Amino acid sequence: MKVPAVRVRPSDVPLLERRARALASGKAEIVEEAERLGLIAFRLGGRPCAVEARAVERAVPRLGRLVAVPLSAGGERLVAYVDEMPLPVADLACCVGPSRAPEVLALAPAVVLPVPSGRVAVAVEGPLDLLEEALAERSACGGEGDNPDAPRLVARLAGGASLLDADWLAGWAGRNVRS
């Protein structure tokens, strides 16, 4: 019985040829592939954004019914039940536009972030997506001016999305749900 030869078709022939020539010449430097980050992607003001998945405790495809809880200092705070736990809700879209109505937020996806005072459900614009992507370029840009509520971007991803600073996002969420 004769087994036919298996043909392997490489996907990137020029890259493989360059690496082979470099290795054959003995001058090859070992270059690691670009570091790929685990990300949760969403939209902000209609633009593609992402945050590192390691900073997120849980991703929720839809917040569901929100409850307005009165605060001792006056006013109300919106609360959503995530995994049967009440979590305060902060709407990230208000950083780039008007606040959304509770009925709209109930349909919005969210990322749950740990903050010093507990956990916060940060409502984003959907859809949520899990990605593994490399950085295209680090960014020196942050928020606009000295405004702590302006989103702080730390990098541009290879797919074109903006990477939000996870520490800024957690700080913003904590400030927006303080009583």
- Predicted pLDDT at 33: 47
Does 13 fall in a domain? Answer: no
Residue 150 covered by a domain: yes
The answer to the question of residue 12 being in a domain is: no
pLDDT digits (tens, 9 = 90+) for 117-169: 899 999 999 899 998 888 877 765 555 556 767 888 888 888 889 999 999 99
Q: Which domain holds residue 66?
A: 37-176
Whole-number pLDDT of residue 149: 74
SS3 143: coil
Tokens for 67? 């409850």
Report if residue 11 sits inside a domain. no
Name the pTM for this structure: 0.75
Structural tokens at position 90: 């902060």
| Per-residue model confidence as pLDDT tens digits over 59-68 | 999 999 999 9
Structural domain includes residue 45 = yes
In a domain, 87, yes or no: yes
Q: How would you label 66-82 residue by residue, b for 16+ Cβ within 10 Å and e otherwise?
A: beeeeeeeeeebbbbeb
Q: How far apart are CA 81 and CA 85, in angstroms?
A: 5
Asked if the model's pLDDT at residue 94 lies above 70, the reply is yes
Number of independent structural domains in the chain: 1
In a domain, 44, yes or no: yes
| In a domain? residue 83 | yes
